[in-house]
């Protein structure tokens, strides 16, 4: 049975990802910071069935690399899929008046022109760098394993285009570019790298009902379809309205540029 490694597992998107994995008959390795996060997941998904919990600080460069060491030595299960689920802060978003916009990452709406630079670095570390660490720790492993239909999926947020989220908007813009890198590096490999561009607010089901947001259990359908679509690779999947949950809407992440082919063939020298 396949396993999905979920980074940011206790957030709204992480819980949605766990539900999707279980709905498609896959096991889950959920990376959490502490026991409280683990308990939160169990509370929202209903049971521990099929879930292996591992504690790690994914904001540190070696956090997931230590997890991978345990996988390689057999202390943790092998995995074929990775989902970098980020972190959604529903209550913080509502407090800032952003109830219907995409909030992916740690929310800090302070103006960049006046914010403390250390705060800026913290937001970038949590909202952007942690995803890069996850990719650096796991992507090459998926290639080395050579399992067909392996996937690496990242969630990005609409705040990167709106500009109203301060440092979070900057972090999301960086992740848009990172997703382009992943889309390129997965070409001619066994791994399908895809970006999910979310411009709806998703919350765990009880919070979603209370605040008229999208349920995590409903949003899970998007990842279920990504796992099922073996032809979906190097794409951006758009989720900007609820119709996009029912029918995948996507486009190629990278332009049809001869430079991409030249780079793949080793003929591009920069």
The SS3 of residue 142 is: helix
- Provide mean pLDDT across the span 40-53: 96
Cα 51 to Cα 160: distance, rounded to the nearest angstrom:
32
Cβ-based neighbour number of residue 197 at 10 Å: 27
Point out which residues pair with 155 in neighbouring strands: 196
Cα 150 to Cα 9: distance, rounded to the nearest angstrom:
19
Cα 101 to Cα 99: distance, rounded to the nearest angstrom:
6
Span 134-154, pLDDT tens digits: 999 999 999 999 999 999 999
E strands present in 42-114: 51-55, 81-84
Tell me the Cα Rg of the chain: 18
Closest CA to 218 of 249, 245, 248: 245
pLDDT at residue 244 is higher than 90: yes
Which domains are present in the chain? Answer: 3-264 (3.40.50.720)
- Provide mean pLDDT across the span 178-198: 97
Lowest-confidence region among 20-29, 164-173, 193-202, 246-255 = 164-173
Span 247-270, pLDDT tens digits: 999 999 999 989 988 898 888 877
What's the pTM?
0.90
Cα 223 to Cα 229: distance, rounded to the nearest angstrom:
10
Lowest-confidence region among 52-61, 82-91, 117-126, 141-150 = 82-91
Cα 201 to Cα 218: distance, rounded to the nearest angstrom:
12
């Amino acid at each position: 049975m396949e396993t999905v490694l979920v980074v940011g597992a206790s957030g709204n998107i992480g819980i949605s990802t766990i539900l999707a994995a279980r709905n498609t008959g896959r096991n889950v390795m959920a990376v959490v910071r502490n026991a409280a996060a683990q308990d939160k997941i169990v509370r929202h998904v209903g049971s521990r069935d099929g879930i292996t919990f591992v504690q790690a600080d994914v904001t540190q460069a070696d956090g997931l690399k230590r997890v991978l060491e345990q996988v390689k030595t057999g202390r943790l299960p092998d995995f074929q899929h990775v989902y970098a689920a980020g972190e959604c802060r529903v209550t913080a978003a509502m407090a800032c008046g952003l109830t219907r916009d995409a909030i992916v990452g740690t929310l800090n709406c302070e103006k960049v022109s006046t914010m403390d630079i250390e705060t800026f670095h913290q937001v970038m570390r949590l909202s952007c760098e942690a995803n890069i660490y996850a990719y650096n720790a796991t992507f090459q492993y998926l290639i080395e394993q050579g399992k067909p239909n392996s996937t690496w999926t990242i969630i990005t947020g609409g705040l990167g285009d709106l500009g109203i989220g301060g440092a979070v908007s900057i972090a999301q813009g960086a992740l848009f570019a990172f997703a382009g890198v992943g889309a390129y590096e997965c070409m001619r490999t066994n791994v399908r790298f895809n970006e999910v561009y979310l411009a709806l607010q998703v919350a765990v089901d009880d919070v979603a009902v209370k605040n008229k947001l999208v349920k995590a259990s409903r949003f899970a359908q998007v990842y279920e379809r990504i796992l099922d679509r073996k032809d979906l690779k190097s794409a951006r999947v758009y989720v900007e309205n609820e119709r996009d949950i029912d029918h995948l809407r996507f486009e190629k992440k990278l332009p049809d540029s001869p430079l991409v082919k030249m780079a793949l063939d080793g003929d591009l020298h920069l």
